[in-house]
Amino acid sequence: MMPSTPQDSLLERAPQLLRDLVTSHLPEPWRWFANSLIAMIVILAVFGLLFAALTLVERKVLGRVQNRPGPNRTGPFGLLQPIADGIKMLSKEDIVPRDADHILHFLAPVILLASTVMAFAVIPYGRHLVPVDLDAAVLYFFAVGATTELAVFMAGWSSHNKYSLLAAMRALAQLISYELPLLLSWVPVVMISGTLSTTGIVAAQSAWKWGWVPTWNVFTPWGFAGFAVFMVAALAESNRSPFDLPEAESELIAGHLTEYSGCKYVFFFMAEYFGMTALSGMAVTLFLGGWHAPLPSLEFIPSYAWFGAKLITLLVGFIWIRATFPRLRIDQLTRFAWKFLVPLALINLGTTAFWSLSFGWTGPLQLVRWAVAIVLVVVPFIVMGRRLSSGVAPRTYSYAT
């Protein structure tokens, strides 16, 4: 009964029913306002809690990778650690340097957090769960995300501190460099889906090939390449290791966070995790089929659970990468963006164009289509990967042997 009409199952409609339970008492003109308010509160609550859990998971996983148990003093298995952290951070003194630009110094964390929270508005979390269904949702998402660069530079400039300013310059160089591959990597999805709406993109990935293989974008050659470029650029955009140069503590103390303490520091910290979560959510929407189940027989599990599972998988991947790789140097970072990721993303546009043009090919031509697309993805990767490291690796040292 349920698999035939999964969209009507009780669990699927539970969020809607709960909301209507509250807002149905209101007069009609007020209802949309109350609905939006509830959506905002739910987003802040869910992603706030996810942020808290993520800090704990990150520290636990990093600990396990480094052969130690991680935080385990606060509560059973250290589960209350995020609460203790929160109390500690919020009760700390808020220090503003005397020479700082007080208004900008205050505004930077606020704008940063606001812009990352705004990005959550257009992600479809489930079949019936999209806070704002915009026509140009993807464009909106990345436009809002670009505001974070402004906020980071505001923080660096207003702190009146050489480390903050240097870090802000670095952050700008990094964020603008990686903005380009990030934007180019999702253009193929729009080319194939023919829409900028996130719900439309998810709907375009809803079919099953041969009745059981999901037609997610990541299972095509151009989609896989786009997904890889997107995730690398997302790592850099959210200032995560190995691209966490703006806060390279061995060089720049804490970078643009140097002069921030207490609640404002928490805002920056939250913004980093919110940005990471939003970009992962967008990656799920664009490439991993959004809220769709991976198998038709698993559709009885509500769609928001599938979205959550995919999101958490990507976030754990972020943590795994942080636990593994050392930080890049600034020249390596920019070279990697301009000489590798941007050309790859551009070539991927061509691959997608071929894929789009060969849409009608059938029979053995299908195999030709796949082979050509795979060659178009793999060969540039190998060739440019060789060129990227030629003359640079392996390193020779003048004094060390």
Residues found near other proteins in the complex (CB under 8 A):
61, 64-69, 72, 320-321, 323-325, 381-382, 384-386, 388-389
Residues 366 and 358: their CA atoms lie apart, in Å, by 9
DSSP 126: B
Output 78 or 223, the one with its CB closest to other proteins: 78
- 343: tokens are 């050309």
The minimum distance between CB 255 and other proteins, in angstroms, equals: 25
Nearer CB in complex with other proteins: 300/320: 320
Residue placing its CB nearer to other proteins in the complex, 43 or 65: 65
| Min separation Cβ 338 and other proteins, Å | 16
Burial of 330 (0-12, 13-18, 19+ CB in 10 A): middle
Contact 156/168 with Cβ under 8 angstroms? yes
Contact 355, 373 (CB under 8 A): yes
Give me the least distance between CB of 165 and other proteins, in Å please. Answer: 32
**Min separation Cβ 371 and other proteins, Å:** 20
CB of 150 to other proteins, least distance (A): 32
Structure tokens at 134: 């915009």
Considering the complex, state which of residue 371 and residue 378 has its C-beta at the smaller distance from other proteins.
Answer: 378
Nearer to other proteins, 69 or 194 (CB): 69
Smallest gap, in angstroms, from Cβ of residue 75 to other proteins? 15
Between 7 and 389, name the residue whose CB sits nearer to other proteins: 389
At 203, give phi and psi (nearest 5°).
-65, -35
* Helix segments in 205-341, DSSP class H: 221-237, 249-252, 262-286, 303-324, 330-336
* Nearest one of 82, 51, 252 to 164, comparing CA atoms: 252
